Structure 1
Amino acid sequence: MAPLSSQNATAAISCTTTFTAHDGSILCSWVNNPGTRGTLNILWLCVSTLGLCVWNAVHPDVPHPGTPKWRVVGKRIWWLFVGLFMPELLVLTALGEFRQACTLLVRLSRETRVPTELPWWLVQVERLYPTPLTGHEIEQHGKYLPLPVRCEAILPPLSSVEPEDLTALIPTPASDASLPVTPPTLRKDAAIQTPEAREGGRKHAWTLAHSFYAVMHGFLSADGDPFWTTTTEAYYTGTVIVVFDTDKGIQRISAASHDPFSIPDLSADDLDDRSKAGTIAKALLVWQFSVFIANCAARWNQSLPLSLLEITTLAHCLCSLVALGLWWYKPHSVGEAAMVGRTRSLPQPPHIDDLFTAAIHKVLPGKDTIDIPRTIAIIAIAVLYGLPHLLGFSVNFPTSSEQRCWQLATFTVICSPLIMCLMFRIGSSAGTFGRLDTVILVEVLFVIVYPMSTMFLVGESMRQIFALPEGSFHQPQLTRYLASFS
């Protein structure tokens, strides 16, 4: 009998076409991939896909000058933890920064003569769903805006106005013939503007990447002057945090070149040089995820069971790809900020505990009003992450207790963001923001219950990889030929 290693080596090879060499040995011209996979293949495919997605999707802000290396690494590890155990928070943070960057770019194009370059899709979105006019635009252009727009923009609710005072509140049309006759519009092409029209002497167009660079604290005053940030109190925790101020940003970007705090005139290529991830790296990530999706879809189509680890990886990668899409124009892992008005002192970097509060503030509804589109986005993202875990309901668990815990954790992950939105909706109308019981309930739900549920889903997925049915090791017919990092 041949040795076991020789038997395994012979059984693993199935030549479709053979021919004889000059020395009499048999050579194979083509060998099909084996129709099975091992536990290590499943584990490595999921871990490599999940690691690539989370690592490349996370776009940290620019670290403050003088920040210790351990703090920079700690912040990156924190966001990797968020991407692994709270992926919805990663997507919502990306959504908040995406909204800020787009708003800054659109307002610069409408309110100033700074040369701007808007992506084609943003131009189309603004045509269909224009950004609401701000108080600054009303003050600047209110004299020539159409009367219904002016009334809608500046009049208080009629319920708070006495009838005899209503006439005094209605603005009168301007009689100055020198004023423009059309409302502000977007400027798509910076090349059509003359050098004299370029505000602040800027030669390079301000793009969406510039706006992201500003939102991520890429431009920093060395003496600590918050020239486009402001402090506000997080109403759900009472913590004072620093947030991006679009009005201040517009003032600084459009400032004259001789202003000591004018923003450096960086080109898009300069921002690409500062970024540590290019389009090719992102394209490879998309390919890896596409192969993983094709593998899962083929297994589902051919009635081959999925492991819980593949289901969890699918849910995390969906969130990571959405975050990557929202951060597509954001520079990745920029090492240092562009200093403005360099002086002798440096601002203090934020504490780690402030990072969580600031991230929450970007995505939660405001205290005075409920942002309906943002609320819908929160619900959609919750469904995006939670729905794939419903596939685990049909998986064979080692025990019934594990199956019930999986179902409970899945419903908790789906319902927690929905409950949060409902709480803020009720709190906005009842005026209960900032109350101790509300703060405690939010912290228990979002800081304890939700992370524990996601941790269980990830942990149970890793455990179940060692208790799989036989069908989990069969390969689909097509995807075995797709190359990936596994």
Structure 2
Amino acid sequence: MDELGLNINATGVSSRGTSPRLWVAPPNFRGTMGIFTLCVSTLLICVWNAIHFDIPMHRFSTSRKFMVAISWTLLAVISPELILFIAFNQRLAATNVLKLARKTFSARRPARQGVIEGDDSSESIKEVANGAQDIIPVDEELNRTRKYSFTIVHGFYASMGGFVFDFLDENGKLDGPTFLPPGQTRMCISSSGVQFLLRHDPDLIPDISESSITDRSRGSSVGKGILIAQLAWFCANCISRLAQHLPLSLLEIATVAHGLCGMLTYALWWHKPLGLIDPTLIRGKRAREACALMAICSMKHQFLAGGITSIHLPAEVDFMTTVLSNEDASQTELRKLKPSSSASPVSDSTELEKQPKHTAEGYVSLVPEEQGLGELGLTPQRYVSPGVLQETSIALKAQFLYRIRKDDIPWHSRRRMPNEPVNLSPLDVNRWLMASNAMKRYGVNLKTLVDEIPSSQPYVLPKSTMQASSDTKARSPKGIAVTNAATVLLTVAFGLPHFLGWNVDFPSLTERTLWRIATVTVTSWGVGMCILAVMGISVRWWFDASPWDRRGEALFVACGSAVYSTAAGFLLIESVVQLFFLPPAAYNLPSWSNYWPHFG
């Protein structure tokens, strides 16, 4: 006899008159494991589908790709508002690129004569898509009318490492002089770098269609539909429980908060391509010179832990000027130098001995503001750098966290006397000479670069990483206001759902008190940091300093982040602990939620 009271004969047909059950309703209760698996599955579906990775400069192996995905998934579970903030910054960057691109490409000026004098005919842009290699020469027609419209998808593509300077030719060999360290052949163009090119050399930006980008994306309407359906069911289930006066577990409340952040992240990244593995490569002499100019204008950044901690090196251009005095013989010789693809800018050892401003190792020694390099007479400033990496605490941070050796510190971040000669390495010389050529082509000088271009931005990066989008590096009133307003809104969006647990049953009174304190801390953290930012601006203004200078804020941000991380971590841990101390009513199900398809 089976459990329903039916006698089954050898043929498998019931022998009594009792009819089979055509429909059996699900139970009206749930268990601890059911609550746990429901919340975890909803959380993982939300996080896994919401994260849209940037494009790596080189293809990752399967194992490394998996480890990167796991790392970002764990970070999104622990700190979903950080991922939301990154998505907000990338959306803002993509929008800014789109606005400037439409303005630039809708008002093309007549071609300037001689702007590519000396360029090689092999300069090209190579688009890598699905294994195919399309070569698009850029020197055939400058300032040409673009075939494809620039859309928000292009804006995201430009903001996620879609465009990369490549120093290799078709045969995998160096295409000319380089200023990159040994083993490095590419530089990723950031969203700020794309805007730099739009202002000075828009023809270097490839003319590619939106479909050539989206066809490589692995995002699908099916995945989006599953995510939306699962989150909609989960939220409807929570609302139904509240309407029927059934208690929610803290884990469900935490899942609602994560789900809200996930949906907002998904909305901000809606037009961002998903799963792209190959960038568009930009090659040629003109591209290398543009890259050199963008490199000296870029603040160097290294990130760790999702961008929560980072180290910055000032932009080289802030420590450079031009020679104003009359040229002497040695200075004239220095200005005759040309970039070299060899280890030294000048390869003839006999010639090296005749030039007193060279060392036998190929280094060039310049007296600041007296001896210049290149046709523009580029020279170091007499200003003594504060030696960012020479301070003990930061030096330890650089060495142990970021693996920066003392020899890797660039010339402009080292301590020196005002008139002490500066020794430029062969790579430094190449970078200066190539940047000088780009400045001549664009009709700019160091003064206009410093005045018009914020040197707090990374225009080119040694690798593409979403960590670079964890901070806007804003130095303007509008930028600082937008960043702080976004911080307030995002922390409120994550913290507000936790107030649903204000009066739930806790294992102890102490845990309830700590939950309430942590909830208020997380929700109001953005407001507190905004107040500190306003106070910092006011203090700088009071002491006649630049009110928009962000130096000195790192300590406050670090302390605030420690407080926030502690509060958010407690909320997550307590959500799991309270699962084992639920009241009996928490195991009852609302009357209709089982009939909605879902995972769990």
Q: Same fold, TM exceeding 0.5?
A: yes
Which residue of structure 2 lines up, in the alignment, with residue 387 of structure 1? 496
The correspondence for 1:245, drawn from 180, 193, 197, is 193
**1:103 match: secondary structure:** helix
Question: Which whole-Å CA distance do the structure 1 matches of 2:473 and 2:301 have between them?
Answer: 23
Q: Which residue of 2 aligns with 1:428?
A: 537
Alignment of 1:156-305 (within 5 A): 200-223=144-167, 228-229=189-190, 244-251=192-199, 254-255=202-203, 261-263=204-206, 265-305=207-247
**Aligned partners of 2:200, 2:592: CA distance in 1, in Å?**
56
In structure 1, what is the equivalent of residue 485 of structure 2?
376
2:156 aligned with 1:47: no
Q: Identity rate of aligned residues, in percent?
A: 29
Cα distance, 1:27–1:99 mapped onto 2, change above 3 Å: same
Q: How does 1:452-471 map to 2 (within 5 A)?
A: 452-471=566-585
Give the residue type in structure 2 aligned to 1:209. V
- What is the aligned partner in structure 1 of residue 455 from structure 2? none
Residue aligned with 1:397, SS: coil
Distance in 2 between residues matched to 1:339 and 1:360, nearest whole Å: 20
**Distance apart, 1:72 and its partner CA:** 4.5
Mapping 1:289-438, distance limit 5 Å: 289-341=231-283, 352-353=303-304, 356=307, 357=310, 359=467, 363=471, 366-371=474-479, 372-431=481-540, 436=552, 438=553
Q: Secondary structure at the match of 1:98?
A: helix
Offset at residue 426 of structure 1 (A): 1.9
Stretch moving more, 466-475 or 269-278: 269-278
Q: Cα distance 1:112–1:435, how it changes in 2: closer, same or farther (>3 A)?
A: closer
1:95-174 matches, within 5 Å, as 95-113=88-106
Cα deviation code 1:251-272 (max 9, x no counterpart):
58841xxxxx441x33222222
Q: Counterpart amino acid of 2:510?
A: S
Structure 2 distance, partners of 1:69, 1:352, is: 23
Tell whether the 8 Å contact from 1:63 to 1:72 is kept in structure 2 after alignment: no
Find the residue that maps to 2:208 and give its secondary structure: coil
Distance 1:266 1:247 in 2: 17
Residue in 2 that maps onto 1:57: 50
- SS at 1:303's partner residue? coil
In 1, Cα distance between equivalents of 2:80 and 2:520: 16
Which stretches in structure 1 are left out of the alignment for 5+ residues?
14-19, 116-135, 137-197, 230-242, 256-260
Higher helix content, 1 or 2:
1
SS, match of residue 221 in structure 1: strand
Task: Name the SS of the counterpart of 1:339 in structure 2.
Answer: strand
2:57/2:186 contact within 8 Å kept: no
Q: Are 1:93 and 2:86 an aligned pair?
A: yes
Partner SS for 2:589: coil
Aligned to 1:165: none
Contact 1:84/1:316 (8 A) holds in 2: yes
Distance in 1 between residues matched to 2:507 and 2:229, nearest whole Å: 34
The answer to which structure, 1 or 2, has the higher relative contact order (CA under 8 A, 6+ apart) is 1
Deviates more, 1:40-49 or 1:21-30: 21-30
The Cα shift of 1:67 comes to: 5.5
Displacement after TM superposition at 1:429 (Å): 2.9
CA deviation after TM superposition for structure 1 residue 37, in Å: 1.2
Q: Distance in 2 between matches of 1:275 and 1:300?
A: 40
| Structure 1 residue 476 corresponds to structure 2 residue 590 | yes
Q: Across the two proteins, how many residue pairs are aligned to each other?
A: 371
Whole-Å separation in 2 of the counterparts to 1:114 and 1:324: 34
TM-score, normalised relative to structure 2: 0.56
Say whether the 8 Å CA contact 1:277–1:332 is kept in structure 2.
yes
CA apart distance, 1:60? 1.4
Taking a change above 3 Å as real, the CA distance of residues 213 and 252 of structure 1, as seen in their structure-2 partners, is farther
Which has the larger displacement, 80-89 or 464-473? Answer: 80-89
Q: CA 1:397–1:453 in structure 2 vs 1: closer, same or farther (change >3 Å)?
A: same
| TM-score for the superposition, normalised by structure 1 | 0.68
Rounded to whole Å, the distance in 2 between the matches of 1:277 and 1:26 is: 48
Q: 1:76 to 1:351 in 2, by over 3 A?
A: farther
Give structure 2 stretches of 5+ with no counterpart. Answer: 7-12, 110-141, 168-184, 311-465, 541-546
In structure 2, distance between residues paired with 1:468 and 1:388: 19
Structure 2: how far apart are the matches of 1:329 and 1:57? 12
Q: Partner residue of 2:179?
A: none
Q: Alpha-carbon deviation of 1:21?
A: 5.7
Alpha-carbon deviations, 1:407-462, whole Å to 9, x = none?
Answer: 121122112222211122222232285555x422211211x221222121111111
| Whole-Å separation in 2 of the counterparts to 1:420 and 1:364 | 15
CA contact (8 A) 1:91 1:320 kept: yes
Structure 1 pair 22/45, CA: closer, same or farther in 2 (3 Å)?
Answer: same
Checking the alignment, whether the CA contact within 8 Å between 1:365 and 1:374 is kept in structure 2 is: no
Q: Which amino acid aligns with 2:41?
A: S
Query: Aligned residue for 1:443?
Result: 558
Assess, with a 3 A threshold, how the Cα gap between structure 1 residues 368 and 213 changes in structure 2: closer, same or farther: closer
- TM-superposed deviation, 1:352: 5.0
RMSD value, Cα? 3.6
User: What secondary structure sits across from 2:304 in the alignment?
Assistant: helix
Residues 143-197 of structure 1 deviation map (CA, whole Å, 9 limit, x = unaligned) = xxxxxxxxxxxxxxxxxxxxxxxxxxxxxxxxxxxxxxxxxxxxxxxxxxxxxxx
Report which of the two structures shows the higher radius of gyration computed on alpha carbons.
Answer: 2
- 1:126-151 Cα deviation digits (max 9, x unpaired): xxxxxxxxxx9xxxxxxxxxxxxxxx
Does the CA contact (< 8 Å) of 1:382 and 1:414 recur in 2?
yes
**What is the distance in 1 between the residues matched to 2:25 and 2:197?**
60
8 Å contact from structure 1 (residues 228, 248) kept in 2: no
Distance 1:457 1:44, change over 3 A: same
